[in-house]
């Protein structure tokens, strides 16, 4: 195995990308979104998970893009794919239960892993309308595991998200809106839920029975107490395993020389910043 | 027997009336009929009801120009080139646009139902989210659910009676008056051939009462019929056709040209305010026709976007770091 990078040899986006990449197991069917997740998946494909199957929401199945796509509708997505078709295939496959892992993002998350990508403030009198759901709730409903990659700020790790766009482990049962365990609502369609949140300060996981988030690892230089203080809710820090594994030199080479040499999603660290 | 369905860009837009329920081909910033979008803005179309599997830059153009009253969909932005739909966001804040949120899969299912001629679709997605919050039925709140033009309910919650699968959500078929598609090739009788991902185009073409196909090129119908397994939409589902090379710019077309990222970045950066949008529209849309728009873009820009015909995409090495 390649040597781990030293402090100063990697950036925070590098760390997030490698942490995300390690969530993939070989042979899994993975639903890919645009951006850093795309780099993470292609990194996994070139390291520990050469047989993963990549699905793009726009309709490419088992894709092997020759270069990093800038969006899932992009022309290079379908080059080398097993099948290129459309959304009906992509979502049918997901609802049928073929998808093991999905990567998603969000603006806000609560302690149950409910994520908001719809609006900031009251939905009916919205201060800021965001992109909307896209396939976030669908991938999160259908996949066995989902991994969220998020910027960590106290205003983003909140008691109550402005709008539940994507379902966590405890969700609202309509028409009343009372919180129930996801398992009780999804019935035969229950396959799992959010398995990790990778933020800019640490990696978080969920107790699948209580549905609550706990801190799994701290990124280098961060303490559990510091991280707890960056959450509005009472974060469980009793199960911390240690530090998030840092990138290896080989992973950094693949990210910056093979996958994203143009720095579309992951900037290179400047030479003078080297330790 | 050949039936020529050709119309002009101007005629295509005259078919779309104020208040029409409208949808498009493509996916976010790919294969959108931008020439039609620009002409709708030039002709000051009002009160449009957009129902889209997903939105994109074209939604931002129409909403920014004040053409749209209702938008039912799940997402709007410019992908890498602009992180959210600033025009949609502004109009929502001002309450001059009604947005009805569904999930992406639900929007797809809604069009699939309409394309099958059934009144609703069933799904097990997005359960427990605010997408299903009864308080957030915006068309209901506006008193617009007449059960004719707009479905009586946003959702119906039910349980599976066949296999005991648990909670289900029914979503209404996406009934649209007009679909406008942008595709690679269309024959004189309407047969459509799309290269690469066809997104949800077959569903929207079949769902719409009237389907207008804008193509990079019109080709002999007989040519397409020589290899019918490669065709995506049958002739009789298409009512009107027109040829409009580069008519999807600034969105991209598989095998033909890439997304014009610089154009979209500029649009996103300069149209946060209404004044900004109006200035952009004055420069790029009003007072132009499709040809003068392309002339303004210029050869160097368009050549830079051109896809390699063997690779079907535009390798990054061959262009200026788009």
DSSP conformational letter for B47: S
The confidence score (pLDDT) of residue A109 equals: 98
Alpha-carbon gap, residue A182 to A184, rounded angstroms: 5
Contacts of A126 in chain B (CB under 8 A): 89, 92-93
ipTM of the predicted assembly exceeds 0.85: yes
Contacts of A34 in chain B (CB under 8 A): 79-80
More confident residue, B312 or A274: B312
Q: Which residue ranges form the domains of chain B, and what is each CATH number? A: 1-124+171-322 (3.40.1080.10)
Is residue B1 scored above 90 in pLDDT? no
Interface test with B, best of A64, A65, A81, A88 (most B CBs within 10 A): A88
The answer to whether residue B135 neighbours chain A at the CB level (below 8 Å) is: yes
The confidence score (pLDDT) of residue B270 equals: 98
Of the candidates A76, A135, A189, which has its C-beta nearest B104's C-beta? A135
Of the candidates B84, B133, B199, which has its C-beta nearest A58's C-beta? B199
Residue B319: band (very low, low, confident or very high) from pLDDT cuts 50, 70, 90:
low
Give the number of other CB atoms < 10 A from CB of residue A257. Answer: 10
What totals of helices (H) and strands (E) does chain B contain, helices first? 12, 11
Of the candidates A57, A75, A167, which has its C-beta nearest B196's C-beta? A75
Nearest chain A alpha carbon to B259: A74
The confidence score (pLDDT) of residue A77 equals: 87
Structure token digits, residue A124: 């009916």
Contacts of B313 in chain A (CB under 8 A): 74-76, 79
Q: Which uninterrupted H or E stretch holds B182?
A: strand B178-187
Is residue A131 scored above 70 in pLDDT? yes
Is residue A166 scored above 90 in pLDDT? yes
Structure token digits, residue B170: 């029914």
> Would the CB atoms of A57 and B104 count as touching at under 8 Å?
yes
> Would the CB atoms of B255 and A75 count as touching at under 8 Å?
yes
What number does CATH give the domain A12-273? Answer: 3.40.1080.10
Point out the least confidently predicted range of A26-35, A159-168, B183-192: A26-35
DSSP state letters, B9-34: HHHHHHHS-TT-EEEE-SBTTBS--H
The confidence score (pLDDT) of residue B317 equals: 62
> Would the CB atoms of B80 and A35 count as touching at under 8 Å?
yes
Residues B80, A58, A117, A183: is their CA dihedral positive or negative? negative
Query: Could you tell me which residues come within 8 angstroms of residue B186 by beta carbon, excluding any fewer than 6 positions away?
Result: B192, B193, B213, B215, B218, B219, B238, B241
Of the candidates B28, B125, B135, which has its C-beta nearest A138's C-beta? B125
**Model pLDDT for residues B2-22, shown as the tens digit of each residue:** 567 999 999 999 999 999 999
> Would the CB atoms of B124 and A186 count as touching at under 8 Å?
yes
> Would the CB atoms of B104 and A126 count as touching at under 8 Å?
no
DSSP state letters, B282-307: HHHTTT--HHHHHHHH-HHHHHHHBP
Is residue A135 scored above 80 in pLDDT? yes
> Would the CB atoms of B196 and A262 count as touching at under 8 Å?
no
**Model pLDDT for residues B31-46, shown as the tens digit of each residue:** 999 999 999 999 999 9
- Residue ranges of alpha helices (H) inside chain B are 9-15, 34-42, 57-64, 86-93, 104-116, 138-141, 201-207, 221-225, 261-270, 274-284, 290-297, 299-305
**Model pLDDT for residues B159-170, shown as the tens digit of each residue:** 999 999 999 999
The answer to whether residue B54 neighbours chain A at the CB level (below 8 Å) is: yes
Catalytic residues of A: 57
Is residue B318 scored above 80 in pLDDT? no
**Model pLDDT for residues B157-196, shown as the tens digit of each residue:** 999 999 999 999 999 999 999 999 999 999 999 999 999 9
Is residue A33 scored above 90 in pLDDT? no
pTM, two decimals, is 0.96
Alpha-carbon gap, residue A87 to A56, rounded angstroms: 9
User: CB under 8 Å, gap of 24 or more: what pairs does B160-165 form?
Assistant: B160/A187, B160/A188, B163/A188, B164/A187, B164/A188, B165/A187, B165/A188, B165/A189, B165/B124
Contacts of B136 in chain A (CB under 8 A): 123-124
What's the distance, CA A112 to chain centroid?
15
Q: What is the mean pLDDT of chain A?
A: 94
Task: Domain ranges for chain A, please list them.
Answer: 12-273
The confidence score (pLDDT) of residue B322 equals: 39
Q: What is the mean pLDDT of chain B?
A: 96
**Model pLDDT for residues B113-144, shown as the tens digit of each residue:** 999 999 999 999 999 999 999 999 999 999 99
**Model pLDDT for residues B231-265, shown as the tens digit of each residue:** 999 999 999 999 999 999 999 999 999 999 999 99
The confidence score (pLDDT) of residue A271 equals: 63
Whether the Cβ atoms of residue A61 and residue A82 lie closer than 8 Å to each other: yes
Is residue B321 scored above 50 in pLDDT? no
Of chain B residues 280-309, which have a CB less than 8 A from chain A? 307
SS3 of residue A198 by DSSP: strand
Whether the Cβ atoms of residue B160 and residue B145 lie closer than 8 Å to each other: no
Nearest chain B alpha carbon to A60: B197
Nearest CA distance, A170 vs chain B (angstrom)? 8
Alpha-carbon gap, residue A245 to A19, rounded angstroms: 7
**Model pLDDT for residues A70-109, shown as the tens digit of each residue:** 888 888 888 889 999 999 999 999 999 999 999 999 999 9
Q: Going by DSSP bridges, is the β-strand pair B68-73/B98-101 parallel, antiparallel, or unpaired? A: parallel
Of the candidates A71, A87, A132, which has its C-beta nearest B200's C-beta? A87
> Would the CB atoms of B203 and A88 count as touching at under 8 Å?
yes
Give the number of other CB atoms < 10 A from CB of residue B253. Answer: 26
Residue B320: band (very low, low, confident or very high) from pLDDT cuts 50, 70, 90:
very low
């Amino acid at each position: 195995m390649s040597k781990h990078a030293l402090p100063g040899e990697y950036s925070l986006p590098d760390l997030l990308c490698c942490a995300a990449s390690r969530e993939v197991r070989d042979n899994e069917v993975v639903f890919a979104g645009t951006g850093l997740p795309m780099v993470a998946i292609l990194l996994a494909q070139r390291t520990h998970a050469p047989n993963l199957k990549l699905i793009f929401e726009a309709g490419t199945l088992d894709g092997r893009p020759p270069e990093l796509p800038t969006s899932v509708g992009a022309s290079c997505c379908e080059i080398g794919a097993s099948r290129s078709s459309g959304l009906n295939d992509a979502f049918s496959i997901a609802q049928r239960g073929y998808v093991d892992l999905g990567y998603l993002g969000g603006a806000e998350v609560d302690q149950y892993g409910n994520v908001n990508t719809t609006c900031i403030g009251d939905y009916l009198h919205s201060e800021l309308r965001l992109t909307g759901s896209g396939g976030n709730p669908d991938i999160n409903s259908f996949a066995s595991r989902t991994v969220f990659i998020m910027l960590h700020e106290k205003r983003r790790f909140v008691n109550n998200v402005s709008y539940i766009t994507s379902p966590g482990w405890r969700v609202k049962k309509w028409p009343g809106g009372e919180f129930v365990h996801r398992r009780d609502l999804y019935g035969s369609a229950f396959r799992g839920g959010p398995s990790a949140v990778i933020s800019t300060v640490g990696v978080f996981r969920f107790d699948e029975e209580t549905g609550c988030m706990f801190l799994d690892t701290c990124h280098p230089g961060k303490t559990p107490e510091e991280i707890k203080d960056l959450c509005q809710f009472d974060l469980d820090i009793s199960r911390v395993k240690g530090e998030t594994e840092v990138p290896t030199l080989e992973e950094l080479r693949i990210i910056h020389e093979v996958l994203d040499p143009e720095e579309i999603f992951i900037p290179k660290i400047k030479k003078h910043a080297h330790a | 027997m050949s039936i020529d369905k050709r119309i002009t860009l101007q005629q295509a837009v005259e078919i779309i009336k104020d208040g029409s329920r409208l949808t498009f081909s493509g996916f976010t910033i790919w294969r959108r009929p931008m020439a039609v979008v620009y002409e709708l803005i030039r002709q000051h179309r009002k009160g449009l009801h957009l129902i889209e599997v997903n939105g994109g830059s074209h939604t931002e153009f129409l909403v920014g120009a004040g053409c749209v009253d209702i938008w039912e969909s799940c997402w709007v932005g410019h992908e890498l080139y602009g992180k959210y739909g600033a025009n949609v966001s502004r109009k929502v804040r001002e309450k001059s646009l009604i947005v009805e949120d569904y999930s992406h899969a639900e929007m797809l299912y809604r069009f699939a139902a309409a394309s099958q001629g059934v009144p609703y679709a069933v799904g097990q997605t997005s359960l427990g989210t605010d997408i299903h919050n009864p308080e957030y039925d915006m068309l209901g709140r506006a008193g617009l659910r007449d059960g004719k033009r707009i479905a009586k309910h946003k959702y119906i919650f039910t349980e599976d009676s066949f296999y005991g699968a648990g909670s289900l959500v029914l979503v209404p078929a996406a009934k649209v008056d007009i679909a406008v598609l942008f595709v690679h090739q269309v024959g004189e009788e309407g047969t459509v051939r799309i290269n690469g991902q066809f997104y949800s185009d077959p569903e929207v073409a079949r769902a719409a009462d009237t389907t207008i196909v804008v193509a990079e090129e019109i080709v002999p119908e007989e040519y397409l019929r020589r290899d019918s397994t490669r065709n995506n939409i049958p002739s009789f589902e298409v009512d009107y056709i027109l040829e409009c090379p580069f008519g999807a710019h600034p969105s991209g077309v598989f095998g033909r040209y890439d997304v014009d990222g610089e154009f979209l970045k500029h649009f996103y950066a300069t149209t946060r305010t209404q004044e900004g949008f109006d200035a952009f529209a004055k420069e790029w849309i009003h007072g132009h026709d499709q040809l003068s728009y392309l002339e303004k873009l210029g050869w160097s820009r368009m050549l830079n976007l051109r896809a390699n015909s063997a690779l079907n995409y535009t390798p990054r090495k061959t262009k200026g770091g788009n």
